[in-house]
Amino acid sequence: AQSVTQPDIHITVSEGASLELRCNYSYGATPYLFWYVQSPGQGLQLLLKYFSGDTLVQGIKGFEAEFKRSQSSFNLRKPSVHWSDAAEYFCAVVPTSGTYKYIFGTGTRLKVLA
């Protein structure tokens, strides 16, 4: 079955430190890949997406993610975290087979220490 795994439920980093959030997926082919962010009390906002081409994609708010086919991973990174990045982050995939069904990971909650 298709699935998305975000192994870290909580991550705490200091402001200014680098960040990497992990995402692994299980699917027979390369799906479309997304990262969304949810600030407290808000809906989800798209950070970035990968459809094809360059495996390093840039997103909003200084985030980037790298698609690694061999590892079935799509990890999110940021070189220097800001206090305003504290939020919950969701990885999601959509199979490329013409389905509407987005599959979300269970999320990683980021805490930023001043």
Partner 1 sequence: DVKVTQSSRYLVKRTGEKVFLECVQDMDHENMFWYRQDPGLGLRLIYFSYDVKMKEKGDIPEGYSVSREKKERFSLILESASTNQTSMYLCASSLLSGEGGELFFGEGSRLTVL
Chain residues that interact with partner 1, rule: CB under 8 A: 9, 31-32, 34, 36, 41-46, 49, 51, 90, 94, 96-102, 104-107
Q: How far is the CB of 103 from partner 1 (least distance, A)?
A: 9
Taking the least distance from each CB to partner 1, the nearer of 60 and 113 is 60
Considering the complex, state which of residue 46 and residue 56 has its C-beta at the smaller distance from partner 1: 46
CB 79 → partner 1: shortest distance, Å? 25
Give the number of residues written for the chain.
Answer: 114
Cα distance between residue 19 and residue 23, in whole Å: 13
> Closest approach of Cβ 8 to partner 1, in Å?
13
75 with 22: CB under 8 angstroms? yes
* Shortest Å, Cβ 98 to partner 1: 4
Measure the CA–CA gap between 47 and 65, rounded to whole angstroms.
10
User: How many Å apart are CA 108 and CA 22, to the nearest integer?
Assistant: 9
CA-wise closest residue to 35 among 95, 93, 111, 110: 93
User: Is the Cβ of residue 34 or residue 67 nearer to partner 1 in the bound state?
Assistant: 34
